[in-house]
Amino acid sequence: MQFETLRIERIEPRLLRVTLDRPQVANALNTRMGHELLELWTGLADPGEVRCVVLTGAGDRVFCAGADLKERRGMSDADWQAQHVVFERQYWALLEVPVPVVAAVNGHAFAGGLELMLACDFAYAVPTARFALTEVTLGIMPGAGGTQMLPRAVGERRAKEIILTGRPFGAAEALEWGLVNRLVAPETLMNEALATATAICDNAPLAVRQAKKSIHTGLQTDLKSGLLFEIEAYNRLVPTADRREGIAAFNEKRKPRFEGR
């Protein structure tokens, strides 16, 4: 895939690195990036060989500063809403990507940038990163999942404080509150993220996808319904070649060769 605002790299056939590539404007989301992210995530609805994605930002200061407010200056209401539809669709498409997406947060993640991180499956961040949902300070509100994903990550009361004040907070707080999984030095962030992604790639791809889907679906429903969905997802793996390969490899004391079938 060739894009203007994104840099796409195949680290290996199974692993994709995606870089938000507008460092001159803090990797802010403009309309072009919205369309390109939508195309990327939609294309990964059928991931082919890809088993994991690492998402990061260009440069060493900012992951993503949110929407490009310079582009938005002077927009009509209709143009603003039309642009936001593109943003909404790309965030929702990201949530539906069947393979895990790991955020390697190389710097600050504000507004839509934080929402982008929240739409990933989990995140590693540098200790100097700062986070905020600043929309209410601009006369709007989070509209790309922030009011839904943040409470699920940090709890309702803390999410209300973050969203209603618009105040930034640091990486140590993000780690303590469960917003990021790990703080990693800048020079090793990408290696850590890629190592984790590689470990995911080494596992049975159908099993990983089913587990991810079960977690996502279960969190949207009651416990009993979630448990029933989990069993349905589990049973679909029983007749797979990968399940037979995994058990054979364990008993033969060798590394399994999973093929996604």
Asked whether residue 158 is assigned to any structural domain, the reply reads yes
Which DSSP string corresponds to 165-196?
H---EEHHHHHHTTSSSEE--HHHHHHHHHHH
Instruction: Write down which residue in 185, 201, 217 finishes a domain.
Output: 201
Instruction: Give the integer Cα–Cα distance in Å for 130 and 115.
Output: 13
State both tokens at 224.
């009993």
pLDDT tens-digit profile of 2-22? 899 999 999 999 999 999 999
User: Which pLDDT score is estimated for 162?
Assistant: 97
User: Which pLDDT score is estimated for 2?
Assistant: 81
Asked whether residue 256 is assigned to any structural domain, the reply reads no
Asked whether residue 210 is assigned to any structural domain, the reply reads yes
User: Domain of 185: which CATH number?
Assistant: 3.90.226.10
> Do 59 and 176 share a domain, yes or no?
yes
Domain that holds residue 197: 6-201
> Do 21 and 148 share a domain, yes or no?
yes
b/e per residue, 67-104, with b = 16+ CB within 10 A?
A: bbeeebeeeeeeeeeebbebbbbbbebbbebbbbbbbb
> Do 100 and 225 share a domain, yes or no?
no
Task: Choose, from 71, 88, 115, 252, the residue flagged as catalytic.
Answer: 115
Asked whether residue 175 is assigned to any structural domain, the reply reads yes
> Do 119 and 242 share a domain, yes or no?
no
Instruction: Give the integer Cα–Cα distance in Å for 135 and 23.
Output: 22
Instruction: Write down which residue in 186, 201, 216 finishes a domain.
Output: 201
pLDDT tens-digit profile of 174-230? 999 999 999 999 999 999 999 999 999 999 999 999 999 999 999 999 999 999 999
User: Domain of 226: which CATH number?
Assistant: 1.10.12.10
Residues of the chain with pLDDT under 50: none
Asked whether residue 108 is assigned to any structural domain, the reply reads yes
Q: Is 115 designated active site?
A: yes
User: Which pLDDT score is estimated for 92?
Assistant: 95
> Do 36 and 85 share a domain, yes or no?
yes
State both tokens at 140.
């709007």
> Do 158 and 246 share a domain, yes or no?
no
Percentage of the residues of the chain whose pLDDT score is greater than 70? 100
Q: Are 190 and 104 in contact (CB under 8 A)?
A: yes
> Do 29 and 95 share a domain, yes or no?
yes
> Do 100 and 15 share a domain, yes or no?
yes
Task: Choose, from 9, 88, 135, 230, the residue flagged as catalytic.
Answer: 135
Asked whether residue 1 is assigned to any structural domain, the reply reads no
Instruction: Give the integer Cα–Cα distance in Å for 161 and 185.
Output: 28
> Do 151 and 227 share a domain, yes or no?
no
> Do 127 and 238 share a domain, yes or no?
no
Query: Long-range contacts made by residues 238-246, C-beta under 8 angstroms, separation at least 24?
Result: 240/204, 240/206, 242/204, 242/205, 242/206, 242/207, 243/204, 243/207, 245/204, 246/204
| All residues at 6 or more sequence positions from 107 whose CB lies less than 8 Å from its CB, including other chains | 57, 59, 60, 61, 62, 63, 126, 128, 129
> Do 112 and 218 share a domain, yes or no?
no
Which DSSP string corresponds to 80-114?
HHHHHHHHHHHHHHHHT-SS-EEEEE-SEEETHHH
Q: Are 28 and 67 in contact (CB under 8 A)?
A: yes
Asked whether residue 258 is assigned to any structural domain, the reply reads no
> Do 113 and 39 share a domain, yes or no?
yes
Q: Are 145 and 119 in contact (CB under 8 A)?
A: yes
Domain count across the chain:
2
